[in-house]
Structure 1
Amino acid sequence: MAYKISDACISCGSCADGCPVGAISQGDSQYVISEDACIDCGACSDTCPVDAISQG
């Protein structure tokens, strides 16, 4: 199950920099994770300073 970014996202870009497969990009109002590209590694969650990323 792919990771999701909540509305708590502050658009800092840390998650995108930490994603080993480039599954994260800037959306309209916050960063978003491509469900098709996400490999469920959790690297993005570990880099988020506001804990806005969770599995699911």
Structure 2
Amino acid sequence: MFAVISSAAPTFLSYINYVIPVVAYFTGVLLLGEAIEWHSLAAMILIILGIGLTRKRVAD
């Protein structure tokens, strides 16, 4: 974990907290047969877009 922090910064490691719901949702769909709902997919897209926006580097 310290190697990841030193190479990618602590904020990158904190993104795992945002990815857990996405993985849990698809695990429930695949293993438990839960229904895929549009508002859940929309929420996951917002999560992924948020991660993408915060990881985008500004050109100098």
Instruction: State the TM bucket, normalised to the shorter chain.
Output: under 0.3
Choose between structure 1 and 2: higher helix proportion: 2
Give TM-score, length-normalised by structure 2: 0.24
CA radius of gyration, larger in: 2
